[in-house]
């Protein structure tokens, strides 16, 4: 009995050690949030600020999804900030100056993103020009192109329906009268039942899928996460989700952009982890020659990774412009660095072949919470930059140190 | 005569493993001493102890060198005393010249300014010693592996070497280059350089070694000397694996069936030098259940032939026809070649065959992901089952299929590559140097796998630079030279002499 318990404890320690990166990232995010919650006297986790956090970071997270794919494939895209700005300018010119309808503008902008991604991907994939160089060129070209399009001016404002891309909220399913009791209970002006309901459903789905996975693993005799870890992890995630949905419910409900963000994150997490195309991208980044000799169309995959990045950068550009309600020549300046930093904080490897979507998203939130928290506390932009730089270095150092110890 | 080197009761433990257990090694002054053992037996660990990679104090036992107790703190310490190791992976800078490489870290310089005249003069003298006629300003990347190996030796000689250690020096060399290297070793011996050679190639060991020490499972099991005439390949092999291996090639029933793969009028040009024809009018076929060898020297075009057939992964202006069971097949892309029933196991498993940082499971399913997926979604549990099946069938020694392949031994890595291609369900497998760099025991297992494949009715093409292996395994052997097939021998007619004479008289 004692012996069996000892063996189990050893197994847990072993499991923790080998998944230190994943748990560490989550723990780091929670620690950073608690820290700022304390030093901002509770402002960080106020309803309005949580809503703001999502609005502020949505475009970074959306681009981090594409960047993760690009980095896993063994490449990099330095142009995303410029492309994002350019698409914002493109949309502004179409709507404000040419008077095109919003939906045509959105389709044209996304199409333009695809074309830009395809153009850069073409040189990287089929001409083997290092992506660093191609996208450095792209960064300069599209920075210039937005200046040219906007003629150095800010162009705006946008019609309301375009703005709702970013700053809109999903209306509640229940009439206000039905939720007034809940609002009273929560001690707020109103209560959005949809936000709370979806939060509860999300928790139920996550727990159900986790349990189903465990059952199947057991059936196939695969040893997975120790039970206690599974419980603790799920309880933490469930509490966090319920907390966030409660906070959103007591403010204005679900922001539109949160919906697109969550849907995209789920889609990309599934694509990278569970599909053949995802697996092939990891293989391509891990060893391009071996992947190619295994019958994988490596060039086409690289090309598609950049097309996908262009599409997501365009979407981010639309959301960013909608939030500012104007397109400026400076939009998206140096954003590529935040996006790339988020992916590396999330545990991706510079040489390609490893990294997870969830890691990139958590990495983006770590950066986002720090930006937000430091701004609330009133730390100057000078210190903010230095601290962010050191956090990136520390995260990657932690990775490298861990790997050398596992050797 | 007192020995130049004596290692006494060396014991080295890593957390959880005893890598070396009371190993004794005595190397006499001026001899060539061979160390043989399977991969993982502890040869490299022993050499790392000797050269100070594992510093004094991190191991038990004593090293006596040149008449005194030696306690090396690091490599530069042992180098200063004339012990120099040439590793299997060459440590030359490809874009620098021979002269720059020879004196790298040891520049002929005054106050940081390099004296190029002296550098080039000394380089010329050293190159002459190792029999290289290249100019000192030649860049390393312009040399073949064989010549690079000689440059490494010249580099060692530039440091007044007393004890030269060569770790598998001929593993990547052609027959001719290997012979040249072995001749050089014998030449250096007459000049009084004591040498230790680690090698899997027992015929080479027998040719140059005065003494052989066999290491097995971290202990020294036997020492034999040429003087007393007891160095025989059979005895070395027996001591290495710990059992009698009367037959190094497992027996197989030989009854080839219908023709599977038929390649006709195959011509290939060089991918960069468009005017150079690499493969000329090659015709060959493989039958069901047949193992066909392709013999030839390095650079004969064997790998190029295989890769050009396998989805045109080499060369340009490829012409010719490929058919399987009488039906023409499309091999213009790698995935089409795989779908048509071909598999190619590359000669360079680390850089071309495996995704080293991924686990065994991921590597095994890579060439046939649809085999474990539905509508593009992978069923990971089914994938694990597939991997487990091959782990059992191939006897891949690993605690789990979630182990990264980078941590496996060469033999086990090769079994992973073979598993990957078997899971792609091919009709014909082209195996390019399937046993390169793996130890005797694992080789025997690979031969067993090849025999099983033939018994299941697959066709196997085996490219190998080790002629005994081809002679032991194949039903027929094609001989290739300068891009063309210059002969075809049946198993009964084939011999090393006949193969060589076909190459030479071409």
Contacts of A222 in chain B (CB under 8 A): 381, 384
Tell me how crowded residue A209 is: count the other CB atoms within 10 A of its CB.
10
**Of A219, A222, A295, which has the smallest distance from its Cβ to B334's Cβ?**
A295
pLDDT of residue A8: 47
What's the pLDDT at B67? 86
Domains assigned to chain B: 3-241 (3.40.50.300), 247-341+426-506 (3.40.50.300), 355-424 (no CATH)
Rounded to whole angstroms, how far apart are CA atoms A330 and A310?
19
pLDDT (0 to 100) of residue B240: 80
Average pLDDT (A2-7) is: 40
CA distance B376 to chain A (A): 5
Which segment, A130-144, A189-203, A385-399, B82-96, is predicted with the most confidence on average?
A130-144
Smallest Cα distance from A291 to chain B, Å: 8
For residue B351, give the nearest of A216, A277, A289 by CB distance: A289
Phi/psi at B497 (5° precision)? -65, -45
Cβ(A328)–Cβ(A157) under 8 Å? Answer: no
Cβ B355–A286 below 8 Å, yes or no?
Answer: yes
Q: For residue A28, how many C-alpha atoms fall within 13 Å in the half-sphere facing its CB?
A: 22
Q: What is the mean pLDDT of residues A363-386?
A: 92
Over residues B258-278, mean pLDDT: 91
Interface test with B, best of A73, A290, A403 (most B CBs within 10 A): A290
Q: Determine the pLDDT at residue A228.
A: 85
Tally Cβ neighbours within 10 Å of residue B444: 18
Burial profile B207-237: b = 16 or more Cβ within 10 angstroms, e = fewer: ebbbbbbbbbebbbbbebebeeeebeeeebb
**Among residues of chain A, what percentage have pLDDT more than 70?**
96
Q: B355 and A220: CB-CB below 8 Å? A: no
> Is the CB of A295 less than 8 angstroms away from the CB of B351?
no
Tokens 């770790």 correspond to: B167
Contact A295 B367 (CB under 8 A): yes
What's the rounded Cα separation, in Å, for the pair B39 and B218? Answer: 11
Q: What DSSP assignment string belongs to A45-77?
A: TSHHHHHHHHHHHHHHHHHHHHHHHHHHTT---
Residue range B221-247: mean pLDDT, rounded: 78
B380–A283 C-beta distance less than 8 A = no
Provide, as residue numbers in chain A, all residues whose Cβ is less than 8 Å from the Cβ of B355: 282-283, 286-287, 290-291, 353
Question: A283 contacts in B (CB within 8 Å)?
Answer: 355, 358, 362, 366
- The SS3 of residue A346 is coil
The set of residues, in sequence order, having a beta carbon less than 8 Å from that of B394 and lying 6+ positions away, is B415, B416, B418, B419, B449
Measured CA to CA in angstroms, residue A148 lies from A108, A137, A311 at distances of: 19, 16, 22
Closest residue in chain B to residue A275, using alpha carbons only: B377
Q: What is the percent of chain B with per-residue pLDDT over 90, rounded to a whole number?
A: 51
Q: What is the pLDDT of residue A4?
A: 39
Look at A275 and B377 and tell me if their CB atoms are within 8 Å. Answer: yes
- Torsion of Cα atoms, B492 then B493 then B495 then B500, to 10°: -150
Please enumerate residues of A whose Cβ is less than 8 A from a Cβ of B: 216-217, 219-220, 222, 274-277, 279-280, 282-283, 286-287, 289-297, 353-354
* pLDDT of A160 over the 50 cut: yes
How many interchain CB pairs under 8 A, A with B? 81
What distance in Å separates residue B486's CA from the closest CA in chain A? 28
Domains of chain A, first to last? 47-168+282-407 (1.10.3470), 169-254 (no CATH)
Q: Which residue of A has its CA nearest to B364?
A: A294
Q: Which residue of A has its CA nearest to B368?
A: A294
DSSP per residue, B383-410: HHHHHHHHHHHHT---S-TTSBGGGS-H
Of the residues B366, B406, B407, the best mutation for testing chain A's interface (the one with the most A CB atoms within 10 Å of its CB) is: B366
Q: For tokens 């390019």, what's the residue? A: B432
Yes or no: say if B372 and B379 are a contact pair by the CB < 8 Å rule: yes
ipTM of the complex: 0.85
Most A-contacting residue of B350, B369, B374, B430 (CB-CB within 10 A), to test interface? B369
Sequence-distant (≥ 6) Cβ neighbours of residue B80 within 8 angstroms: none
Q: Which of A72-81, A370-379, B345-354, B388-397: highest mean pLDDT?
A: A72-81
Tell me how far apart the alpha carbons of residues B118 and B12 are, in angstroms, rounded to a whole number: 43
C-alpha closest to that of B126 among B97, B159, B174: B159
* Residues B150-165, mean pLDDT to the nearest whole number: 90
CA–CA distance, A90 with A86 (Å, rounded to integer): 6
Q: How far is CA A338 from CA A78, A364, A366, B451, in A?
A: 11, 8, 11, 56
Of B403, B414, B268, nearest in space to B352 by CA: B414
From the CA of B343, how many Å to the nearest CA of chain A? Answer: 9
pLDDT band at B246 (very low <50, low <70, confident <90, very high): low
Asked if the model's pLDDT at residue B506 lies above 70, the reply is: no
- Angle between helix A80-92 and A47-72 (nearest 10): 120
Contact (CB<8Å) B356/A277: no
DSSP 8-state secondary structure symbol assigned to residue A169: B
Residue matched to tokens 């996304």: A110
**Over 70: is that where the pLDDT of B243 sits?**
no
- Which residue reads 């939130």 in tokens? A365
| Spatial CA neighbour of B470 closest among B346, B311, B294, B298 | B294
Q: How far apart are CA A35 and CA A32, in angstroms?
A: 5
Nearest CA in chain B to A281: B366
Instruction: Give A-chain residues touching B362 at CB under 8 angstroms.
Output: 279, 282-283
Three-class SS of B332-365: CCHHHHHHHCEEEECCCHHHHHCCCCCEHHHHHH
Tell me what the mean pLDDT of segment A100-109 comes to: 96
Helix, strand, coil shares of chain B, percent, nearest 5, are 35, 30, 35
């Amino acid at each position: 009995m004692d012996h069996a318990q000892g063996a189990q404890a050893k197994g847990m320690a072993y499991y923790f050690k080998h998944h230190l990166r994943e748990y560490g990232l989550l723990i780091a995010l929670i620690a950073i949030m608690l820290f700022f919650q304390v030093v901002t006297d509770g402002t960080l986790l106020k309803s309005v600020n949580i809503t703001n956090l999502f609005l502020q970071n949505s475009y970074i997270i959306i681009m981090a999804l594409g960047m993760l794919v690009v980095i896993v494939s063994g490449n990099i895209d330095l142009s995303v900030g410029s492309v994002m700005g350019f698409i914002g300018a493109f949309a502004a010119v179409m709507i404000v100056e040419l008077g095109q309808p919003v939906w045509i503008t959105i389709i044209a902008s996304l199409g333009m993103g695809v074309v830009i991604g395809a153009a850069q991907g073409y040189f990287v994939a089929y001409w083997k020009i290092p992506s660093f160089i191609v996208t450095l060129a792209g960064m300069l070209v599209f920075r210039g192109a937005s200046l040219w399009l906007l003629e150095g001016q800010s162009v705006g404002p946008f019609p309301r329906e375009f703005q709702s891309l970013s700053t809109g909220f999903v209306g509640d399913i229940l009439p206000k009268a039905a939720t007034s009791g809940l609002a009273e209970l929560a001690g707020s002006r109103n209560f959005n039942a949809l936000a709370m309901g979806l939060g509860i459903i999300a928790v139920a789905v996550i727990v159900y899928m986790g349990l189903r996975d465990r059952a199947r693993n057991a059936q196939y005799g695969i040893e997975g996460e120790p039970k206690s870890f599974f419980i603790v992890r799920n309880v933490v995630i469930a509490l966090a989700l319920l907390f966030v949905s409660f906070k959103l419910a007591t403010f204005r409900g679900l922001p539109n952009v949160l919906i697109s963000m969550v849907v995209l994150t789920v889609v990309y997490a599934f694509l990278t982890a569970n599909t053949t195309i995802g697996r092939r991208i990891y293989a391509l980044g891990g060893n391009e020659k071996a992947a190619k000799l295994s019958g994988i169309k490596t060039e086409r995959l690289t090309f598609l990774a950049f097309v996908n990045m262009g599409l997501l950068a365009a979407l981010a550009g639309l959301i960013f412009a909608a939030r500012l309600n104007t397109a400026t020549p400076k939009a998206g300046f140096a954003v590529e660095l935040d996006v790339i930093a988020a992916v590396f904080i999330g545990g991706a490897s510079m040489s390609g072949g490893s990294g997870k979507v969830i890691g990139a998203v958590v990495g983006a939130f770590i950066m986002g919470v720090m930006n937000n928290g430091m701004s609330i506390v009133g730390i100057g932009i000078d210190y903010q930059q230095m601290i962010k730089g050191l956090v990136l270095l520390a995260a990657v150092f932690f990775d490298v140190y861990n790997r050398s110890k596992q050797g | 005569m007192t020995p130049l080197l004596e290692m006494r009761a060396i014991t080295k433990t890593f957390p959880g493993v005893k890598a070396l257990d009371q190993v004794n090694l005595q190397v006499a002054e001026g001899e060539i001493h061979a160390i043989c053992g399977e991969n993982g037996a502890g040869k490299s660990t022993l050499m790392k102890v000797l050269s100070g990679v594992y510093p004094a104090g991190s191991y038990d036992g004593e090293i006596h060198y040149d008449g005194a107790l030696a306690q090396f703190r690091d490599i530069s310490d042992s180098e200063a005393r004339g012990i120099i190791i040439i590793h299997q992976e060459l440590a030359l800078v490809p874009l620098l010249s021979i002269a720059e490489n020879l004196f790298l870290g040891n520049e002929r310089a005054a106050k940081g300014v390099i004296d190029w005249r002296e550098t080039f003069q000394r380089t010329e003298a050293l190159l002459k010693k190792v029999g290289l006629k290249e100019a000192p300003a030649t860049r390393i990347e312009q040399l073949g592996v064989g010549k690079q190996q000689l440059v490494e030796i010249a580099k060692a000689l530039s440091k007044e070497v007393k004890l030269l250690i060569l770790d598998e020096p001929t593993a990547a060399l052609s027959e001719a280059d290997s012979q040249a290297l072995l001749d050089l070793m014998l030449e250096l011996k007459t000049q009084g350089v004591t040498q230790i050679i680690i090698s899997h190639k027992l015929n080479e060991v027998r040719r140059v070694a005065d003494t052989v020490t066999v290491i097995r499972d971290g202990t020294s099991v036997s020492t034999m000397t040429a003087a007393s005439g007891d160095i025989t390949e059979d005895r070395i092999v027996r001591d290495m694996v710990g059992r009698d291996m009367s037959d190094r090639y497992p027996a197989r029933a030989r009854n080839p069936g219908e023709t599977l793969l038929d390649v006709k009028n195959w011509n290939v040009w060089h991918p960069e030098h468009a005017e150079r024809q690499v493969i000329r009018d090659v015709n060959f076929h493989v039958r069901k259940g047949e193992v066909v060898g392709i013999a030839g020297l390095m650079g004969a075009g064997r790998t190029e032939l295989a890769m050009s057939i396998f989805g045109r992964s080499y060369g340009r202006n490829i012409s010719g026809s490929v058919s399987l069971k009488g039906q023409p097949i499309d091999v213009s892309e790698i995935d089409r070649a795989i779908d048509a029933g071909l598999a190619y196991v590359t000669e360079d498993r680390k850089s071309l065959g495996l995704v080293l940082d991924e686990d065994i499971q991921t590597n095994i399913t890579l060439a046939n992901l649809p085999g474990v997926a539905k509508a593009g979604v992978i069923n990971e549990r089914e994938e694990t089952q597939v991997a487990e099946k091959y782990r059992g069938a191939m006897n891949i020694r690993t605690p789990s299929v979630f182990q990264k392949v980078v941590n496996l031994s060469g033999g086990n890595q090769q079994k992973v590559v073979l598993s990957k291609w078997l899971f792609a369900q091919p009709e014909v497998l082209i195996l390019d140097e399937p046993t390169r760099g793996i130890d005797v025991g694992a080789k025997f297992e690979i031969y067993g796998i090849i025999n099983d494949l033939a018994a299941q009715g697959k066709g196997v093409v085996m490219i190998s630079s080790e002629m005994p292996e081809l002679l032991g395994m194949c039903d027929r052997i094609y001989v290739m030279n300068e891009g063309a097939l210059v002969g075809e021998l049946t198993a009964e007619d084939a011999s090393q002499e006949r193969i060589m004479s076909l190459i030479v008289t071409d």
